[in-house]
Amino acid sequence: MKRQERKNDRTINIYKILTIVLAVVLIVVLIIFGRSWMVQKNAQKEYEKLSAQVNDLQNQVNDNQINIPSDTQTETENVAQEVQTEDSELEQKGIEIPQKNLNWKKLKGVNPDIYAWIYIPGTGVDYPVLQHPSDDSYYLNYNMNGTRGYPGCIYTEKANSKEFTDFDTVVYGHNMRNDTMFASLHNYEDQTFFNNFPYIYVYTKEKVLVYEIFAAYKTDDAHILHTNDFSTKEGRVSYLESIVKKSKNSPEVKDKIQLSVDSHLLTLSTCVSRQADKRFVVQAILLNEEQL
């Protein structure tokens, strides 16, 4: 009888230990998920705050120039952002450049790696663009404030010039479940959306670049800048041919746009849900070449 009681006591103790272990594991998991949620929430709030400042139209354009708030007019870093609309190509297409209240000194104060701003009407893409000076994957895993985790940042790699003068500038961003960052690029899988929102605007301290989207399609995860040779005419031709080939079965392609080895392209790249070896890219061509 006593042997049976001892056995029962051991069984109860084992259950108690297992219960405690499971409780500890659950608490740890909840702490990890809670921290991750807080990091993502705080990062998103920071983006929303920046976006609200940038899209505040109270200090906007008079005579094609964004006015500077009176308390910063004497600071040379806050040079007025000129919005040039005299380009005949833009005029012919009836394109007006959306106004942004970009205070570059404040943006640099948030993070010195911010060097541009990207905006795509009709999507949630309205973010600063960053480039880390030494680690190409840094902003894949870190936020603007240095915290590790999602959503990360919209960023380019060191192989691309910050002046957007390369044959193809590749910009990366996460495909977030809450439709932030580059998630809304997937809207371009719909033909109607593709036709209705064809332009991408990139703002820097010195200029505003206008790109027209010509293709949006799913591709493999090969690194565009590492697997293509853009230093030669042959390499560029091969790349342009590969775009046509990859996108030929996609309805989201504009065949009227003339691509050449002298074009300046913009490629936006994001992940495809549940397909780790795939990427979804939106590709555009620079219209106002004289800005470079």
Instruction: Please identify every residue annotated as catalytic.
Output: 174, 271
Contacts of 207 (CB under 8 A, 6+ apart): 82, 84, 291
How far apart CA 31 and CA 65 sit, in angstroms, is 49
Which residues are registered as beta bridge partners of 127? 118
How far does Cα 63 stand from its chain's mean position?
Answer: 31
**Other beta carbons within 10 Å of 10:** 10
Contacts of 146 (CB under 8 A, 6+ apart): none
Contacts of 128 (CB under 8 A, 6+ apart): 50, 107, 110, 111, 114, 116, 117, 118, 144, 153, 154
**Other beta carbons within 10 Å of 132:** 18
How far apart CA 160 and CA 171 sit, in angstroms, is 9
Token pair 């708030």 is found at 69
